[in-house]
């Protein structure tokens, strides 16, 4: 296809916008986002599954940004990284991985990762699987360092998961697997190059801090006076031993963005093995259990084949999602990237607009380019990043800001002849209060919207009003007037 006076189109992902009409718990209702809801009434919309088995996750598990963007980009259900890890454990492939080879098997093995049941960046079961394989590989003892979640998992669930972890260790029947230490994820998962946080985690794991002895009642007291366990200070258990120089440390997070900094600093102290390839080559590829398997034949591949020029736009915190993940875990040197700085995580609660003003300015600049054959893929992160703060008030402010941005984008789209498809990757700000009235900052399993606003203002013909994130790619290509491959799930809209 040769591009000649072809349409321009925007794929706009409102990160964390699930559908929930309860104003007592949701920041995505018509109260906070009246314009988006008016578009849903005017143009129609589809409700998309973004969680659980429809997107390749465990049944009932909430979706996340990595899986959401991968699924949107691929247009089909993919094997999740967590599922790949489990499969490798049970098949024996993980145990036989050459990534173990450079370890000193005469010394202890240390295993560190998120104590989480959400499966977003990690799952606590992987801690146990890695420890079990360590014993099978011949390490004399394995020490587990649990990083308490309270962000992906519901705040306050760490005591329960510590009990589950302890029981799972006992069930393995090996006295050589020991729970060594605990600390909140705050220090281990920074991705904004706040090296003071990362270095605290390093020093804690290496035993350089004056850490107290862990007592369950101390965690309970912390939770009574803090929003979550995410900032619980490091503490050793009675059997706990710090990581020793040149010993092996397995980092069990299966998503790269929130473990790369820790891997980088720990690699200067010990032998680090990662589950997946990390940012900035923080761990050599030979020290990775599950190297990346690029996904081909997705949305970006079709756009390139058809001659469309793509621009990717997001704040820094979500930029990998509109590039690496939506590309199918591979680079795209043909795309233009516009990365807006993100404020530090610690400042988000007090600044729920984040960098939306700069994002808006960049988006306007791109949309005012009247060159045909363009595609803009943009992520608006506020509803997810602010949603994680567990404050309905802050999330409502974010919802209003996102709603105002969408209103401006629709106006610019009509002025400059851009087709517009709006969706989300998963829910978050739609459930800010749980069923017991407690603040909630983790992802939800609610459906997400799919809206289509053609540049001529006419309504599209909806073939279905329900679907899955897998339907987004084909629907977007249909909006562009481009055929989609048979490997993709079907379009939810009819061709013009």
CATH code, domain carrying 399: 3.40.720.10
User: What is the pLDDT at residue 435?
Assistant: 87
Residue 125 lies in a domain: yes
**Number of domains the chain contains:** 2
Do 74 and 106 lie in one domain? The reply is no
User: What is the pLDDT at residue 6?
Assistant: 59
Structural domain range at position 45: 8-78+295-479
Q: Of 287, 320, 335, at which residue does a domain stop?
A: 287
For the record, the structure tokens of 494 come out as: 């009819």
Start-to-end CA distance of the chain, whole Å, equals 17
Phi and psi (nearest 5°) for 488? -90, 150
Residues of the chain with pLDDT under 70: 1-6
User: What is the pLDDT at residue 436?
Assistant: 87
Do residues 92 and 132 lie in contact, with contact meaning Cβ atoms separated by under 8 Å?
no
Residue 490 lies in a domain: no
Residue 496 lies in a domain: no
Q: For all residues of the chain together, what is the average pLDDT?
A: 95
For the record, the structure tokens of 438 come out as: 């407690």
User: What is the pLDDT at residue 5?
Assistant: 43
Residue 494 lies in a domain: no
Do 69 and 123 lie in one domain? The reply is no
User: What is the pLDDT at residue 496?
Assistant: 84
Q: Of 259, 287, 315, at which residue does a domain stop?
A: 287
Do 32 and 159 lie in one domain? The reply is no
Do residues 204 and 211 lie in contact, with contact meaning Cβ atoms separated by under 8 Å?
yes
Residue 488 lies in a domain: no
Residue 492 lies in a domain: no
User: What is the pLDDT at residue 260?
Assistant: 95
pLDDT in tens, 346-380: 899 999 999 999 999 999 999 999 888 899 999 99
Coil, strand or helix at 86: helix
Instruction: Give the C-alpha separation, 411 to 409, whole Å.
Output: 5
Do 226 and 133 lie in one domain? The reply is yes
Contacts of 182 (CB under 8 A, 6+ apart): 115, 145, 146, 147, 148, 158, 162, 214, 219, 232, 234, 235, 237
Do 151 and 255 lie in one domain? The reply is yes
pLDDT in tens, 119-152: 999 999 999 999 999 999 999 999 999 999 999 9
Q: Of 241, 269, 287, at which residue does a domain stop?
A: 287
Do 263 and 305 lie in one domain? The reply is no
Do 129 and 27 lie in one domain? The reply is no
CATH code, domain carrying 91: 3.40.1450.10
Give, for 314, the enclosing helix (H) or strand (E): strand 309-315
Residue 88 lies in a domain: yes
pTM of the model: 0.83
């Amino acid at each position: 296809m040769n591009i000649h006076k072809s349409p321009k189109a925007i794929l706009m992902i409102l990160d964390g916008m699930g559908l929930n009409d309860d104003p007592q718990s949701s920041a995505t209702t018509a109260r906070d986002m009246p314009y988006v809801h008016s578009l849903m009434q005017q143009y129609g919309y589809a409700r998309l599954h973004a969680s659980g088995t429809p997107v390749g996750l465990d049944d009932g598990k909430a979706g996340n940004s990595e899986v959401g963007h991968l699924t949107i980009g691929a247009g089909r259900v993919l094997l999740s990284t967590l599922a790949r890890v489990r499969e490798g454990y049970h098949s024996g492939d993980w145990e036989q991985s050459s990534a173990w080879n450079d370890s000193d098997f005469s010394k202890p093995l240390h295993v560190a990762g998120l104590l989480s049941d959400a499966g977003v960046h990690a799952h606590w079961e992987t801690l146990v699987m890695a420890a079990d394989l360590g014993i099978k590989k011949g390490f004399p003892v394995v020490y587990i360092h649990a990083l308490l979640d309270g962000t992906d998992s519901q705040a306050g669930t760490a005591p329960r998961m510590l009990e589950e972890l302890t029981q799972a260790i006992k069930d393995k029947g090996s006295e050589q697997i020991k729970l060594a230490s605990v600390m909140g994820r705050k220090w281990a998962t920074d991705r904004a190059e706040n090296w003071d946080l990362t270095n605290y985690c390093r020093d804690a794991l290496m035993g350089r801090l004056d850490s107290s002895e862990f007592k369950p009642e101390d965690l309970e007291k912390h939770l009574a006076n803090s929003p979550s366990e995410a900032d619980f200070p490091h503490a050793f258990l009675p059997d706990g031993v710090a990581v020793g120089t040149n010993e092996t440390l397995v980092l069990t997070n299966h998503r790269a963005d929130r473990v790369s900094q820790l891997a980088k600093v720990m690699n200067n102290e010990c032998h680090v093995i990662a589950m997946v390839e990390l940012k900035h080559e923080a761990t050599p590829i030979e020290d990775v259990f599950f190297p990346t398997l690029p996904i081909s034949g997705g949305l970006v591949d079709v756009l390139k084949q058809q001659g469309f020029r793509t621009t990717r736009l997001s704040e820094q915190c979500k930029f990998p999602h509109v590039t690496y993940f939506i590309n199918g875990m591979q680079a795209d040197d043909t795309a233009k990237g516009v990365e807006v700085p993100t404020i530090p995580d610690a400042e988000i609660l007090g600044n729920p607009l984040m960098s939306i003003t700069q994002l808006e300015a960049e988006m306007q600049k791109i949309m005012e380019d009247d060159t045909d054959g363009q595609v803009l893929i943009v992520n608006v992160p506020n509803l997810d990043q602010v949603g994680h703060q567990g404050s309905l008030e802050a999330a409502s402010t974010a919802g209003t800001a996102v709603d105002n941005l969408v209103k401006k984008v629709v106006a610019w789209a009509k002025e400059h002849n851009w087709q517009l498809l709006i969706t989300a990757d998963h829910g978050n700000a739609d459930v800010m209060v749980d069923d017991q009235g407690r603040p909630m900052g983790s992802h939800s399993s609610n459906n997400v919207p799919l809206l289509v606003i053609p540049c001529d203002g006419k309504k599209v013909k909806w073939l279905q009003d329900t679907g899955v994130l897998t339907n987004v790619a084909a629907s977007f290509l249909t909006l562009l007037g481009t055929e989609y491959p048979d490997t993709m799930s079907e379009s939810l809209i009819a061709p013009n």
